Structures are given as structure tokens and as C-alpha cells.
Amino acid sequence: AVKSNCSLQSYVPLLHPLMKFGIRCAAVTTYQAISGAGKTFETMPEIVDNIIPYIGGEEQKSEEEPLKIWGHVEGGTIVNAKGPVITSQCLRVPVSDGHTAAVFVSFEKKPTKEEILSAWAEYSGAPQALALPSAPKQFIHYFEEDNRPQAKLDRMTENGMAVCAGRLREDVLFDYKFIGLSHNTLRGAAGGAVLLAELLAAKGYFD
């Protein structure tokens, strides 16, 4: 088993419950914390009062890895899904922890806002069904406030293992746009790896 790239946690879990509406395309800009580069403000002074508009290799991974996640195994090999098309930009921002994503998405069959919110509220996976120790009880948390989610305020939701969303609204070019947030070193890295190990153990892969 291989864990996905940390930045994907800020938007792929939010797109996944919406696949039933037939996602046609998505545009994503990620605003990635310096801990994703293994840095602190002391070891990365160039990020103070600054935004760096390039993270090597991140945009390619942001566009291609979701298709692997949504793919299937055939003959012992992962066959990528053919869609949806994803285009991305990845920026390094002066935040210690927490990757934020601005997401624009269009559908084959446009859902209502209420249908999207219901899909997020009702979504749960095997970690919730198995009540794994590291799993958040509610995977996706939606914030009604216009200024949420915020990295500083919301990255530790459910011990940093939940994914946060907010500002869902219709768009003039795409069908909808919204903001996503995840803790990159917990949900996106170490905590996610522990959760994956718990899932494999619960399914008997270590027996």
C-alpha cells in the first residue's frame, strides 16, 4: 500500500463523494504549508512575507495522482481512471501547517448546493465503519462562515485527521467553487500512514 501525496488530502476527499454526479473537470490551486517541504520559518527565511509560486513536481502529482486513486487494479497493475480532467497550480505560502485548496468543479449532471452538502455530510469510509483508532468520526466538516476554514483555526479538527470545507457557491465559469483544508503532516502524512496501517491490520493483511 502506498499513501497519496499530502496536498491531495485538501481536495480529493471533497471531490470523491461528488463523483456520483459525474465530475467533468476541476481546477485546483493549492496553498501549501512550509512543513510540507520539511521546513520551519527559521529554516526557510525566504518564505516570510512571501509566496513562492512553484513547488517542484507538485502540479503534475496533483493532476495525475487522483486518477490513480480513482482507477482500478488489473493484472496486478493500477489502471488510471480516464477522468475527470484536473488542472492545478501549487504555491508555497507562509503557513506552518495546513494545506488549503481553492477548487472549481463542473459536472455532467449539475447537483444542487444542498445535494453537495448532503454528500459531504453523509460520506464515510471503511475507517469510520471499522471505528479505527486514528479515524475521524466525521470525515468532512463543512463551515458555514464566509471566512472558514482557516489553517490556523481548523487544521486540528478531529486531531488533524478530518478534512474541512467551506465557501461552497456557484461559479460563472464552472458549476461550483469551494475551499478545502487538511493538516498536511497529520492527515496528509504521518497520521494518514498510521490510519492506512490500521486499515490493513483490520483487514487481516498482517496476519
**DSSP output for 146-183:** TT---HHHHTTTTTTTSEEEEEEEE-SSSSEEEEEEE-
CATH tag for 6-202 (out of 3.30.230.10, 3.20.20.70, 3.60.15.10, 3.30.360.10): 3.30.360.10
* CA-closest candidate to residue 140, choices 156, 119, 114, 159: 119
Which pLDDT score, from 0 to 100, does residue 19 have? 98
Residue 172 confidence (pLDDT) above 90 = yes
Q: What is the average pLDDT across 172-189?
A: 98
Annotated active-site residue 164? The verdict is: no
Judge contact between 34 and 47, C-beta under 8 A.
yes
Report the percent of the chain where pLDDT is more than 90.
97
Per residue in 3-54, pLDDT (tens digit) is: 788 999 999 999 999 999 999 999 999 999 999 999 999 999 999 999 999 9
Write down the catalytic residue from 6, 16, 141, 164: 6
| pLDDT of 36 | 97
Instruction: List, for residues 78-108, the tens digit of each pLDDT value.
Output: 999 999 999 999 999 999 999 999 999 999 9
What does the pLDDT look like over 56-78, one tens digit per residue? Answer: 999 999 999 999 999 999 999 99
Which tens digit of pLDDT belongs to each residue from 116-169? Answer: 999 999 999 999 999 999 999 999 999 999 999 999 999 999 999 999 999 999
Single out the catalytic residue among 16, 99, 141, 183: 99
pTM (whole model) above 0.75 = yes
CB-count burial class (<10 Å; 0-12, 13-18, 19+) for 122: exposed
What does the pLDDT average to over 109-119?
99
Per DSSP bridges, beta strands 99-107 and 23-32 are antiparallel
- According to the model, what pLDDT value does residue 95 have? 99
Is 99 marked active-site?
Answer: yes
Q: Return the closest-CA partner of residue 203 out of 134, 137, 123, 129.
A: 129
